[in-house]
Amino acid sequence: MLAASVTQTSPTDPLSALEVGERPAPQAPDGWVRVRLEAASLNHHDLWSLRGVGLPDERLPMVLGCDGAGTDEDGRDVLVHAVVTSPGWTGDDTLDPGRSLLSERYQGTLAEEVVVPARNVVPRPPELSAAEAACLPTAWLTAYRMLFTQSGTAPGSTVLVQGAGGGVATALVVLGRAAGYRVWVTSRSEEKRERALALGAHAAFATGERLPGRVDAVMETVGEATWAHSLRSLRPGGTVVVAGATSGPAPSAELQRVFFLGLRVVGSTMGTREELVRLLDLLVATGARPVVDRELPLARAAEGFAAMAAGELFGKVVLRTR
Ligand SMILES: NC(=O)c1ccc[n+]([C@@H]2O[C@H](COP(=O)([O-])OP(=O)(O)OC[C@H]3O[C@@H](n4cnc5c(N)ncnc54)[C@H](OP(=O)(O)O)[C@@H]3O)[C@@H](O)[C@H]2O)c1
């Protein structure tokens, strides 16, 4: 089958580690099912994998990709939940110490076929296309959990989204707006700020710019480049939800500010299968839809990776396998 994979990682030149070519179709262990993929989407996670972050040499070669939508063995339209939990785990999927995302331990979705545990197959509502559904399992599910499960806020609250153009960030803008939040964003790019406003953000600021008021929560995936601004932007008792550190993982923690203002710092990773189903329901109920920057055939995956590495995207890259 055609697949985008990595055989040798490169910490310094991740694009050079990408291979797009023929790979053996994966075998389905007992209790796993095969999904013929129609569309998959890229995440920053795939770039981290090419760098070798979370992907040690002994697991290579690895087909990349967490997100995909297609048809199951009975021909039903489905998407895949990307969090694979340990056998017998019954708690919150994201808190299983043995959990992995597709493409970390098991072959991923940037391919014509993927095999996943039966519980990781989720019916696709007819209102959503395969391309739209393929955007949801990582970036959109992460955004859903950050905002609705972890932030401690409610509709009417003001939230700040750092790095407006990202896959997670555009999801936060759309979901926040659909759910009745006041949504503020930052971006390094004026064009992306304008696009974020068109998408539904109430206000857009340059990265690091002083805000006109304090916010109830900050959605942080950028890391070092925005962390100080995130803490400065919170009202006393506010919450910063952290799900990523694209620009670096080690900013000054500013502990005096955290304890003196009673700030909450909450980590968040992916979401549960139940949250993914609720996300689907929310999209169907509100008409909100994922933001797709571009669709490419899988054979041209390298173009999508290059745009993501250059920070040029506004929304998701969808790769089509048929
Ligand atoms: N914990 C989880 O479960 C989880 C799930 C999904 C993603 N993540 C992480 O979250 C991060 C975002 O993922 P994604 O897929 O949304 O990535 P993406 O689409 O590539 O977005 C990254 C965004 O970060 C901003 N950015 C990057 N470098 C920056 C810098 N130096 N200064 C300011 N802003 C910068 C950019 O915003 P502007 O260009 O608009 O400024 C860019 O749009 C990644 O680190 C990823 O690994 C974690």
Give residue-wise pLDDT tens across range 82-110: 999 999 999 999 999 999 999 999 999 99
The answer to the question of residue 280 being in a domain is no
Residue 277 backbone class (left: φ over 0; alpha: ψ -120 to 50; beta: rest):
alpha
| Whether residue 206 is found in the same domain as residue 238 | yes
| Whether residue 19 is found in the same domain as residue 71 | yes
- Tell me the C-alpha to C-alpha distance, in Å, between residue 307 and each of 278, 304, 311: 31, 5, 6
Report the pLDDT value the prediction gives residue 296, as an integer from 0 to 100.
98
Mean of pLDDT values over 216-242 = 98
85 pocket-lining for ligand 1 (C-beta < 6 Å) = no
Find the 221 Cα to ligand 1 centroid distance in Å: 5
| Whether residue 64 is found in the same domain as residue 29 | yes
The answer to the question of residue 279 being in a domain is no
Q: What is the mean pLDDT of the chain?
A: 97
The answer to the question of residue 255 being in a domain is yes
Report the pLDDT value the prediction gives residue 190, as an integer from 0 to 100.
97
Find the 75 Cα to ligand 1 centroid distance in Å: 35
Closest CA to 232 of 203, 252, 204: 252
Report the pLDDT value the prediction gives residue 100, as an integer from 0 to 100.
98
Residue 287 has pLDDT above 90, yes or no: yes
C-alpha Rg value of the chain to the nearest Å: 19
The answer to the question of residue 273 being in a domain is no
| Whether residue 108 is found in the same domain as residue 191 | no
Domain coverage including residue 127? 2-135+290-320
The answer to the question of residue 26 being in a domain is yes
316 pocket-lining for ligand 1 (C-beta < 6 Å) = no
| Whether residue 24 is found in the same domain as residue 149 | no
Q: Is residue 123 a contact partner of residue 130, using CB atoms and an 8 Å limit?
A: no
At residue 322 the predicted structure's pLDDT band, cuts being 50, 70 and 90, is: confident
| Whether residue 154 is found in the same domain as residue 207 | yes
170 pocket-lining for ligand 1 (C-beta < 6 Å) = no
Mean of pLDDT values over 146-169 = 97
The answer to the question of residue 284 being in a domain is no
- The percent of residues in the chain predicted with pLDDT above 90, rounded, is 100
| Whether residue 118 is found in the same domain as residue 208 | no
| Whether residue 103 is found in the same domain as residue 198 | no
Domain count, the chain: 2
The answer to the question of residue 275 being in a domain is no
* Residue to probe by mutation, ligand 1, list 220, 240, 246, 279, most atoms within 8 Å of CB: 246
Closest CA to 113 of 60, 68, 62: 68
| Whether residue 112 is found in the same domain as residue 187 | no
Two structure tokens written together for 302:
């390298």
| Whether residue 36 is found in the same domain as residue 15 | yes
| Whether residue 164 is found in the same domain as residue 262 | yes
Helix, strand, coil abundance in the chain, percent, nearest 5: 30, 25, 40
CATH code (residue 188) = 3.40.50.720
| Whether residue 61 is found in the same domain as residue 79 | yes
The answer to the question of residue 181 being in a domain is yes
Find the 33 Cα to ligand 1 centroid distance in Å: 31
CATH code (residue 55) = 3.90.180.10
Residue 75 has pLDDT above 90, yes or no: yes
Q: Indicate the pTM of the whole model.
A: 0.98
Helices of type H across 245-311: 255-260, 273-286, 301-309
Mean of pLDDT values over 299-322 = 96
Residue 2: strand pairing partners: 22
Residue 166: exposure state from Cβ atoms within 10 A (0-12, 13-18, ≥19): buried
270 pocket-lining for ligand 1 (C-beta < 6 Å) = yes
Provide the residue type at 274 as one letter: E
- What is the tens place of the pLDDT at every residue in 103-142? 999 999 999 999 999 999 999 999 999 999 999 999 999 9
Ligand 1: atom nearest CA of 243 is: 1
Minimal-distance CA residue to ligand 1 atom 2: 269
Instruction: Tell me the backbone φ, ψ of residue 90, rounded to 5 degrees.
Output: -120, 0
- The percent of residues in the chain predicted with pLDDT above 70, rounded, is 100
